[in-house]
Amino acid sequence: MRIHLGIIPKFVKKITSFAQGLYEKEQAVMSMTNPTGGKMRTDPMGKGGFLAPRGGRDHKGLDFTLPDGVGQDVVSPLKGLVRRLVKPYAGLDFDGLVITDGIMRVCLYYVAPDASLLGKEVREGQVIGVAQDITLRKSLDGRTWAEQGMVPHVHMECTVNPAFFVDFK
């Protein structure tokens, strides 16, 4: 399954509608492989779309559900170099990795990465790790995110090198 990123939307509604995914895709600028094969997350703790509201902040990525459950394979959404292994939350046992291709930087969180891939090129669609269960994380009140209705997912953030798209004057 492929997803389209860098969508140029028709702004039929306000930007908040865009953030909630209520827009028409006019033109895809690039395409990538869906890292889990799952749908965009929607649950009692929120929607997994870009700019979806998160209390006093905006969601900065896309959350993909896990059709085969926690522990399923996660694949690289693009061909690139595995630059770093990361911990999205200090002191918590969740992992991720950063893949770059020179134009795009993709961060995948809640993935136990194959550490042997660090510093190596990966193919689009290549298995890069397995999905972790982010719903085990606890809120300040001590309840797990699963107890609050969140579904397991992989979070993906993309950053584009602006030098490829902006003519600086």
CB 104 within 8 A of CB 160: yes
pLDDT band of residue 154 (cuts 50, 70, 90) is very high
Closest CA to 110 of 146, 154, 151: 154
- For residue 42, give every residue at least 6 positions away whose Cβ sits within 8 Å of its Cβ, in sequence order, or none: 48
Q: What is the pLDDT of residues 66-92, one digit of tens each?
A: 999 999 999 999 999 999 999 998 888
User: CA 34, CA 102: separation in Å to the nearest integer?
Assistant: 20
CATH code of 94's domain: 2.70.70.10
* pTM exceeds 0.85 for this model: no
Listed residue (102, 121, 109) closest to 160, CA to CA: 102
Rounded percentage of the chain residues whose pLDDT exceeds 70: 82
Structure confidence at residue 8 (pLDDT): 35
Residue 25 within any structural domain of the chain = no
Give me the number of domains the chain comprises: 1
Residue 63 placed within a domain: yes
Q: What per-residue string of b and e applies to 114-148 under the rule 16 or more CB within 10 Å gives b?
A: beebeeeebebbeebbbbbbbbebeeeeeeebbee
Q: Considering the domain boundaries, does residue 5 fall inside one? A: no
pLDDT in tens, 18-68: 444 444 455 566 788 999 999 988 877 777 777 777 778 887 888 999 999
Mean pLDDT over residues 126-133, rounded?
98
- Domain assignment of residue 112, yes or no: yes
DSSP 40: B
Q: Which domain holds residue 154?
A: 33-164
